[in-house]
Each structure stands twice: as C-alpha cells, then as structure tokens.
Chain A
Amino acid sequence: DVKVTQSSRYLVKRTGEKVFLECVQDMDHENMFWYRQDPGLGLRLIYFSYDVKMKEKGDIPEGYSVSREKKERFSLILESASTNQTSMYLCASSLRHNEQFFGPGTRLTVL
C-alpha cells in the first residue's frame, strides 16, 4: 500500500515563527503536493513538485515556500507564521496523472 506520512498530526506555533511541515512517501512517486483545507473552502493547492529540486506554485503560494531535496520528501515552510495560516495541511503524492494519495494531515494552529 502507498504510504504518505506527515511529521505531526497537531502543531501549535506562535506568530512570526518559522514552521516546517514534513511529508514523506514510500512509493517512489514523482509528484508531490501540498494543500490546505479550510471549512467551507475545500482543499486549495499551495505548491507542487514533479521532480527533485523542482517546484511549481499552486493557487495560494503566498506566505509559503517548499523544498524537495530527495524524491521521497517534500517540505512546506512557513517563513514567518501568521494567524491566517491556521489550517489543516494535507500532503499528497501521485505517479504521473493517476490518483493522488494523501497523508493524514497536520492541523496547524498559529497563536
């Protein structure tokens, strides 16, 4: 089975802190994605990557950056966390244009 893991299920940070959210997949998938999910808004794409060291902006990249140094790992970085970044963050991976497999999510609260 495909497994996508995220480093934390729950995270509480203070405004202005630098935050790292880590995602690891074990199926050698080329593509990896970061979404955020907010009530009433569904999931929105922040960034994605189709290869090591490659990254593309999604629909809402402002305030975020990403890093993909190894194929299996895709990190989301909040350079200076703000309260409006309180959300559920979901990582996903896929092989070519097939379905995306999601991790369990990280619920981030920024105080």
Chain B
Amino acid sequence: AQKITQTQPGMFVQEKEAVTLDCTYDTSDQSYGLFWYKQPSSGEMIFLIYQGSYDEQNATEGRYSLNFQKARKSANLVISASQLGDSAMYFCAMREGDGGADGLTFGKGTHLIIQP
C-alpha cells in the first residue's frame, strides 16, 4: 500500500482562486511529520510547510495552510489567492517516527497550472 497518496495528477486553476491539493497518508506510528514541497520547472525542491502529528493547530505559512485531519489521515495543502508563479509540481511527504535521520516518503505529486 502506498504510504502517501496524491489523487490529483494535474489541476488547472484560475488565477486568484484558492487551491486545495489533496494528500492522504498511511502510518501506524504515533509520531510523524508531514511536509509539502514545491518543484517549479527549474527543478529545485522548495520546502513550503510542515505539520507534526502532535500539533493541535493547522500549520500556516503565508498563503499556504495545511488542513490536517488526523482521524482521516489527510493533510491537504491550501493555497489562497493563487498566483501565476504557483504553477509547479507539488509533493506531499511524510517522515515516520521521531528519528531525525529518517528519510521522507513522497507522494507522486500534483502538477498545478495557474491560468490567467
């Protein structure tokens, strides 16, 4: 079974609209972390936002927020007021356990295209 599932291979959204990118995860660990990364066409991976499994509040970073629903094992990324520069691949990822050295498990990504 996939540990990170992103069900939207691609999305087209009008500029200035809000966007929700879906992510569900699967783990039996009590302690874990969830991450979202953006990868523009230039290829670099840009960290956007982090949510720890024990965090009670949803994480927010500027226009990005993470809609964390622990019981449903979902960690959707919400981008408010989308901009043309938001066009990119977006990856959801998970770190399991408390081990700081653990690698991340990534989803297959969502290709977001913002249209003017």
- Give A contacts to B, CB under 8 Å: 30-31, 33, 35, 40-45, 48-50, 56, 58-59, 88, 90, 92, 94-102, 104-105
B91 — which chain A residues lie within 8 A by C-beta? 42-43
Are A56 and B106 in contact, CB atoms less than 8 angstroms apart?
Answer: no
CB-defined contacts of A104 to chain B, threshold 8 Å? 43-44
A31 to B102, CA, bound (A): 9
Q: A40-B108, A44-B106 are in contact. Are A105 and B100 (CB under 8 A)?
A: no
- A-B CB proximity, top 3 nearest: A50-B101, A96-B100, A45-B103
Q: Within the complex, what minimum Cβ distance (angstroms) separates B35 from chain A?
A: 6
B residues near A, CB below 8 A?
4, 33, 35, 37, 43-45, 47, 50, 91, 93, 95, 98-109
Contact A43 B106 (CB under 8 A): yes
Cα distance A91–B91 in the bound complex, in angstroms = 16
Q: Decide if B100 touches A41 in the complex (CB within 8 Å).
A: no
Q: Which of B98, B107, B109 contacts A97 (CB 8 A)?
A: B98
Q: Is the CB of B100 within 8 A of A97?
A: yes
Instruction: Please name all residues of chain A whose beta carbon is closer than 8 Å to the beta carbon of B35 when the two chains form the complex.
Output: 99-100
| Besides the known contacts A43-B106, A58-B103, 12 further A-B residue pairs in the complex with CB atoms under 8 A apart | A30-B100, A31-B100, A41-B108, A42-B107, A42-B109, A49-B101, A90-B45, A94-B100, A97-B100, A97-B102, A98-B100, A102-B37
Contact across chains for A45 and B104 when beta carbons are under 8 A apart: yes
* Chain A minimum-CB-distance residue to B104: A100
Question: Chain B residue with minimal CB distance to A104?
Answer: B44
Are B106 and A42 in touch, CB under 8 angstroms?
yes
State whether A88 and B108 are in contact (beta carbons under 8 Å apart), knowing that A43-B91, A48-B101, A97-B99 are contacts in the complex: no
